[in-house]
Structure 1
Amino acid sequence: MSTHEFRMTMQLRWRDMDRLGHLNQAVYHVLMEDARDGLLAALPLPDEESVSYVLARVELDYRHEVRKEDGEVEVVVRVGRVGSKSLTLENDLLLPDGTLAATGSTILVRWDRETRGAKEISPDERAVLTGAGDASGAGADPR
Structure 2
Amino acid sequence: MSRDLFSLDIEVRWRDLDAFNHVNNASYLGYIEEARVRWFKSLSENWAGESAAPILAAINVNYRRPIGWPETVRITLFAERLGNKSVTLGHRLVSASEPDILFADGNTVLVWINRDGQSVGLPDTVRSACAE
TM over 0.5: yes
Deviating runs (4+, > 6 A) in structure 1?
Answer: none
SS at match of 1:117: coil
Q: How does 1:18-97 map to 2 (within 5 A)?
A: 18-44=18-44, 48=47, 49=49, 50-69=51-70, 71-95=71-95, 96-97=97-98
Q: Considering only aligned residues, what root-mean-square deviation do their CA atoms show, in Å?
A: 2.1
Give the length in aligned residue pairs.
128
Partner of 1:117: 118
The amino acid of 1:42's aligned partner reads S
Fraction of identical pairs, as percent? 29
Measured against aligned partners, the alpha-carbon deviations of 1:2-56 in whole angstroms (never above 9, x if no partner) come to 64511111111111001011110010000000000111111259x7434511000
Q: Secondary structure at the match of 2:74?
A: strand
Per-residue CA deviation, residues 99-137 of structure 1 (Å, 9 max, x unaligned), is 111001000001112x22211225665334312xxxxxx
Give 1:127's aligned residue.
128
Higher strand share: 2
Gaps (5+ residues) in structure 1?
132-143
**Cα separation, partners in 2 of 1:51 and 1:130, compared to 1, 3 Å:** farther
**Aligned position for 1:138:** none
Report the counterpart of residue 15 of structure 1 in structure 2.
15
> Any conservation in 1 of the 2:73–2:93 contact (CA below 8 Å)?
yes
Residues in 2 aligned to 1:27 and 1:5: alpha-carbon distance in whole angstroms: 22
Going from structure 1 to structure 2, the CA distance change for 1:39 and 1:97 (only over 3 Å counts) comes to same
Question: What 5-or-longer segments of structure 2 have no aligned partner?
Answer: none
Change (3 A) 1:104 1:120: same
**9 and 123 in structure 1: CA distance in 2 versus 1, 3 angstrom threshold:** closer
